[in-house]
Amino acid sequence: MPGIDECLLEAMKLPGARGAAVVDWTSGLALGTVGESPSGDHETTAAETAELARMAAEFPSFAPADGSGWSDGDTPVNDLIVSNRDSYHVLQFVRTTFDSSVFLHLWLGRTEGNLALARIRLGEMARQLVLG
């Protein structure tokens, strides 16, 4: 089972990958980074994406329609996708045995990237990621 560094290196093998990070959304800190950062600074990008992840995970509007919301080691949101004119930002939440406050962030070039493949692979990586 891969750790943070192995997971990030695997993410960078995806077509169009520009940069990747593992971020704790409660603190806004990057636990690991690789490649480029859209802001030019990985810590700034981690803090900004953490705000987005926190909003999606904490607001009831994004919870499942059945009202199940939070459970142990889970968030009500699986992933987030933000697109702009030249790239995608894919945030994949990582389920953990403790507070599930970690996500993978992949910055993907729009022209050369494959969004569907990125979502599938990030989901697999999130399930296999070992934190500790």
**pLDDT tens digit sequence for 53-67:** 999 888 878 766 665
Q: Is 71 exposed, middle or buried (0-12, 13-18, 19+ CB in 10 A)?
A: exposed
The full set of domains in the chain, from first to last, is 4-128 (3.30.450.30)
Instruction: State how far the Cα of 122 lies from the Cα of 132, in Å rounded to an integer.
Output: 19
For the chain, percent of residues with pLDDT exceeding 90 = 67
pLDDT at 71: 58
Indicate yes or no: pTM above 0.85: yes
Checking if the pLDDT of 73 tops 70, the result is: no
Instruction: State how far the Cα of 76 lies from the Cα of 62, in Å rounded to an integer.
Output: 7
